[in-house]
Amino acid sequence: MIELAFIIIDEPFNWLPGTTLTDQTDTSCDKAGKFAFVAHGWRSSNSPWITKLIEKLLVYRGGCVIAIDWGFYADNPNYLMIINRDWQKVSDVLTERLKSLEREGVSPDNIFMYGHSLGARLVIDAGLKFGPNKIFQIDVCDSAGPGFLFYDLLNEPKNAAQNVQCILTSMDGGTTFKNCHQNWLMGICGLVQPASPNYLCLLTSICTAVDEKISHNLCNDFYISAFENNFVANNRYECPSAMNIEELPENFKMGYMETRRSSAIQGNIPAPTSRSYPYNVIS
């Protein structure tokens, strides 16, 4: 049996644990309305960013949010055990959840998914299994890098949804692959963030992954801040890449609030960050 909980949160911010939408007869979830999934990463099932993001999604998106609580596995300090034994089992359950919602009348065009670190891996993998480009939109923050080399060589994340936005913030905890529709290279070329206390020591984040302010975990703070603060594309650090997008819509910005995203805009997009909240840089 897989130890996993789907927690439905509706617009009055009611937390209602359950395993199927039909069990939640007392919620305001409308099967014709919008649904969002939020997946935490390694050793972060109780991180404050989860509640903050859910609040933002309820305000700016509406509908219902489904928090994926897989802390039974993700809170295991043995990272290798999770990636070799557990995470794809959880992904399979999440895939079945998506199929169940579709059978109950929820349109994939109304589904949005967000994940950080190993949670990013969950939502991408489930999106791929659910069906190529079926889900409307997936945003992922610094997908876990260690242990996923062969997975990244064999899979194409941009097929997990109609549009997949990847935000990269670290070179150690996060992936180095840039294979989404929009690959945001935050801070110093997506490698390290000025707000991180160890940004001069690029090789320590995987060992201190519970630190909320390392470059890897700052990704969530940037994404949440971006609901109200603009992280505008700007190659301030002259990040070298043949994949950099040369022409973008004016003031194109990272995050959920950018509505001009499409499969026609593909490639790497640098955006500088600052040392303190709200972390964006006003040019």
- What is the count of structural domains for the chain? 1
Q: Is residue 141 part of a domain?
A: yes
> What pLDDT is attached to residue 282?
80
| Interatomic CA distance for residues 267 and 258, integer angstroms | 16
**221-254 per-position pLDDT tens digit:** 999 999 999 999 998 888 877 678 878 899 999 9
Q: How many CA atoms lie within 13 A of 237 on its CB side?
A: 19
User: Is the full-model pTM beyond 0.85?
Assistant: yes
Mean pLDDT across the stretch 8-29? 50
Name the more confident of 240 and 191.
Answer: 191
Q: Is residue 282 part of a domain?
A: no
Q: Is residue 280 part of a domain?
A: no
Q: Is residue 283 part of a domain?
A: no
**104-113 per-position pLDDT tens digit:** 999 999 999 9
Q: Is residue 35 part of a domain?
A: yes
| Interatomic CA distance for residues 22 and 241, integer angstroms | 48
Expressed as residue numbers, the domain containing 123 is 5-271
Q: Is residue 207 part of a domain?
A: yes
- φ, ψ at 49 (rounded to 5°): -60, -25
Taking all residues of the chain, what is their mean pLDDT, rounded to a whole number?
A: 86
Mean pLDDT across the stretch 12-32? 53
Q: What strands, in cross-sheet order, belong to the sheet with 111-116? A: 15-18, 5-9, 64-69, 35-39, 111-116, 135-141, 161-168, 182-186, 267-271
Residue 184 has pLDDT above 70, yes or no: yes
- Which CATH number characterizes residue 195's domain? 3.40.50.1820
Q: Is residue 276 part of a domain?
A: no
Q: Is residue 108 part of a domain?
A: yes
